[in-house]
Amino acid sequence: MRRKIKPLLENVEILDAGSQGKAVARVDNKVVFVPYAVPGDVVDIQVTKMRKSYNEGRLVRIHKYSSKRIPPKCSHFGLCGGCKWQNMDYQHQLYFKQKQVVDNLERIGHASLPDIEPIIPSKHVFYYRNKLEYTFGNRRWFTEEAMKLPEEERINEGLGFHLPGMWDRVLDIDQCYLQEEPSNKIRLALRDFALKEGLSFFNIRAWKGLLRNLVIRTTSTGDLMVIVVFGDDNKEETEKVLSFLHQNFPEITSLIHILNTKQNDVYSDLPFQVYHGKDHIMEEMDGLRFKIGPLSFFQTNLEQGKLLYRKALEFAELQGNECVYDLYTGTGTIANFVAPYASKVVGIEYVDAAIEDAKVNSKINNIDNTHFFAGDMIKVLTPDFIREQGRPDVLITDPPRAGMHEKVIRRILDVSPDRIVYVSCNPATQARDISLMLDRYEIQRIQPVDMFPHTHHVENVLLLKRKAF
C-alpha cells in the first residue's frame, strides 16, 4: 500500500498557542499544531501526522518573525521539551495561559464565567524550581556538533532529560536554567565522575545499568537533598558514587539512595536509605515550617506556591468556625495553611507516607485542629465518615493532573458544601469536572497563577458557591 505523501504548507500564519505548548495554525479550515513557532510568525510547515480533525507538523522555514518572538536563553532549546515557550516574550506567555483557562472553561466546561482575575506572574522566570529529576542513559542524543566528531570520540552516555517522544534517548544537559546552583554543578560533576570511573548508565531497553536517576531538591532554608536512584545492586560501585558526592559537595544535608530494578521509573513505592545527613529537608512558607521527605510532594515553585495558597485561603472566605475538607491533601500543605482560620480541617490523601508527613507538619507548627486520613478518596469519603467528621462548610480540592473521578464529584455533590475551592494544574480536567457541578454550583471567582514560566502549564483557582434553591 502506498503511503500518502504529506504536504508542505507554505506561508502559513501562526494564530494561537495551544495545548502541549504547540503553536496553532489553520489551513483549509483544518487546525495544524506545530511546536516552537510563535503566534504572529509566518512559516512553512511540513506535515508529519494527518488526522481527520487536525494535522501536526514541524517548522521548516520562517518567512516573517512575530513581534512576540524573543531569542531563547537555553542552548538546548528546540531539543529539550521542557521550556517550549522560551522563544516567546513573557507577557505574551501570560496572555496565552490566561486564554487557555477561559477557553477550557467555556469549551469543555460549558460554563458562564464571571470576569477572570488577571493571571499572577511568576516573580522569577529562570531558576524558579526547587526540584529537578534527571535521567542517566546509555543512548545519548547526538547534537549536530557531536555528530561532527569521529565516531570513536563520541560519548554514548548522557545525564539529562528524555527527548520528547523518544523514550529511550537522553539529551545530555550542559546548563539548565530551571534550578539554582549547585544543581548544575552536582549533575555535571557526577556525570564526569561516572564516565571517568567507567560506571554503567542505565539502558532502558534492557532494563539494566547502575546509574538510573538523579534528583536534586533545594529549599529557601538552605537545605539540600540529593537522591541517587540505582538500577543495579552493586554495593561497591554504589558506595563509590555516594562517597564522591559526600566528599565533593559538603553542602548536601540529605544524601539518599534508592534501588529500583523494576521495569518502570516509579520509585515512590520503594524504600530509601540515608547515606549521610537527615532523611528530610525543611521548608518555610508564610511562617509555617514543612518537613519534606524524599518521596513527598511539595510545590516546585515556592514563591508562586505561597501566592497560590494565599489565593485559595482568600477564596475559602473562612470566618473561623467552619469545618473544611482538603481533598488530595498530599503532605497537608493547604490543610495546615488554612487551619489557623478554621474550626476543623480534614485532609484526605491516598499516599500513606504523605499523610504521615502531614501529621508531622501539623505537630511542627503546633496545629491541633487538623485530622488526616489515608486511602482511596471515594472509599474514605463515605456517608459514615462525613457523619463522624462533620459536614464540610468549605471543601478545597487540589487533585493531580487527571482531575477527580466522577464518583468523587458525585460524592461532593451529595455532601453539598457551601463553597468549593478547586485548585488545578490542568484547566482542561478542571473544566471537565466543573461541568458536572454547574447544576448545583455557580463559578464566583477565577484566578490563574503562573507556576512554570516558558511552558504552557498554568495553575488555576476557582471558587464555586452553592446555588440557592
d(CA 103, CA 328): 26
Q: Which of 74, 80, 176, 425 is catalytic?
A: 425
* 176 is a catalytic site residue: no
d(CA 135, CA 202): 8
d(CA 185, CA 248): 10
Contacts of 130 (CB under 8 A, 6+ apart): 179, 217, 218, 219, 283, 298, 300, 301, 302
DSSP 5: P
Nine cell digits for residue 380: 474514605
Nine cell digits for residue 116: 477572570
Amino acid (one-letter) located at 115: D
Contacts of 277 (CB under 8 A, 6+ apart): 252, 253, 254, 255
Q: Encode burial over 147-156: b for 16+ CB neighbours within 10 A, e otherwise.
A: eeeeeeeeee
Q: What is the DSSP string of 194-206?
A: HHHHTPPBPBTTT
Nine cell digits for residue 16: 494561537
At what angle are helices 235-248 and 183-197 packed, to 10 degrees? 140
> CA torsion sign, 292 to 298 to 303 to 308?
negative
8's enclosing H/E stretch is: strand 8-13
Catalytic residues: 425
